[in-house]
Amino acid sequence: MGETQFTPGPWRVRFGNIGHVTAENGALVAKCQRLTSLCNLQANARLIAAAPDLYEALERVIKIIDDSSWCLKLTEERAALAKARGETP
């Protein structure tokens, strides 16, 4: 697997600044803007905050499958991780 270059997690949603997602060290990772409703903004912020956890979970699943005798290619899953690492456009 490639090396990640994104800000390490965990990331958290800050409700004091609605829609702000920050890293554990306080760095601002994302600032969601209110496009349609407050609910959408909060849901988007929570999804972004979960990104490092989702990335790590997918990495673990691929490793488990790679280490087993399963015959799965996981092409889309590998592509998603490569995209997160900036290896594909």
Spatial contact of 41 and 13, defined as CB atoms under 8 Å apart: no
Q: How far is CA 80 from CA 26, 38, 55, 62, in A?
A: 27, 28, 9, 12
Q: CA–CA separation, 7 vs 41, rounded Å?
A: 21
In the predicted structure, residue 49 carries a pLDDT above the cut 70: yes
What pTM was computed for the model? Answer: 0.71
Residue 13 domain boundaries = 8-49
Classify 28 as helix, strand or coil.
strand
Q: Is the model's pLDDT at 89 over the cut of 80? A: no
Task: Say what the pLDDT of residue 45 is.
Answer: 86
CA 75 to chain centre: 18
Residues 26, 56, single domain; the answer is: no
Tokens matching residue 23: 């890293």
Clarify whether residues 73 and 87 are in a common domain: yes
**Residue 19 and residue 41 share a domain:** yes
Say which amino acid occupies 16.
G
Residues 41-66 have a mean pLDDT of 89
